[in-house]
Amino acid sequence: MKICWVGLGRMGLPMVSHLRRAGFDVHVHDISAMARAAAEEDGLTVASSLADAARGADVVFTMLPTGDHVRKVLLESGTDRLVGPRTIFVDSSTISPSEARAIARDVERDGRQFLDAPVSGGTEGAADGTLTFMVGGAVEAFEQVRPLLAAMGKNLFHLGGTGCGQSAKTVNNMMLAMNMASLSEAVVLAERLDLDARTFLDVARTSSGDSWVLRHFYPIKGTVPTAPVNQDFAPGFTASLMRKDVGLALDAARSHEVRVPMTHQAAELLDRLIAAGQGQLDFTALVKLASGEIDSGPDTLTTPAAD
């Protein structure tokens, strides 16, 4: 089985490295020369072109920033014409469910199959091989690629038809953004109430305020080793990409007539962070708004509601 992998960023490179270590025949490509060099250093087989990576592939993985990138790689570049007749395309990017369904329609015209398979777990999960995969598409295709996904993640979920994986990821990241925004405000308030960060973290971990972001992203230096604050918010997952994902959630909520005022608030906070020139920092830099390091604009959360 030949596997083509396109996209060697902060998530893609550690993910595909697990496939190589599991013994799969993987051929990788990225438009970035720096990313290709990092892949070579990691022992991966780096193709000189996208065409070389894709030619004759049985499975093609994409891990790219946007739906437009996925469409260009799979369709506009001619990749779909270079692969085998029964090739399965697996997109682990985070794009909208409607984009996933549109790409699938074009990919599957000639009998090939498409799975939308976004992941959760961040760069830590990618490095550890403990990601969660949320998969939409034909269950038969899912079962065929299960061994590949299992080499990169420990939680594999088939959620239904094409687009269901992206729907799950959209809602998951919607919650992640709001959780991080609320945690940012809470830890700054706790600090200014003279609570020791480590002690309060222990309290919250065993109380009703516990959460995944609390345990992994607590944004006070020296408190949680995995938190991006310890690396001056080097991403990770950039604020700009999180804003893209929150936008996907807002679009979905609008089209399904769901009221999401808290999601709008999270989007507004991310917009302020980006407007302050912090869009390429990890999204956990939201704490800078709560602390006042960056002007967050009107403090709508403490403004009394009108009668």
| Secondary structure letter of residue 73 according to DSSP | I
| Secondary structure letter of residue 227 according to DSSP | -
- Domain termination residue (choose one: 142, 160, 178): 160
> CA angle 213-215-220, nearest 5°?
85
Active-site residue flag, 169: yes
Q: Of 169, 221, 244, 288, which one is the catalytic site residue? A: 169
> CA angle 123-115-71, nearest 5°?
85
Predicted TM-score (pTM) of this structure: 0.89
| Secondary structure letter of residue 303 according to DSSP | S
* CATH number of the domain where residue 130 is located: 3.40.50.720
* Single-letter amino acid code for the residue at 136: G
In a domain, 302, yes or no: no
| 29 and 106 belong to one structural domain | yes
Q: Which domain holds residue 235?
A: 167-297
Q: Is 68 helix (H, G, I), strand (E, B) or coil?
A: helix
> CA angle 55-12-45, nearest 5°?
45
Per-residue pLDDT of the chain (307 residues; tens, 9 = 90+): 999 999 999 999 999 999 999 999 999 999 999 999 999 999 999 998 999 999 999 999 999 999 999 999 999 998 988 998 899 999 999 999 999 999 999 999 888 999 999 999 988 899 999 999 999 999 999 999 999 999 999 999 999 999 999 999 999 999 999 999 999 999 999 999 999 999 999 999 999 999 999 999 999 999 999 899 999 999 989 999 999 999 999 999 999 999 999 999 999 999 999 999 999 999 999 999 999 998 766 554 444 444 3
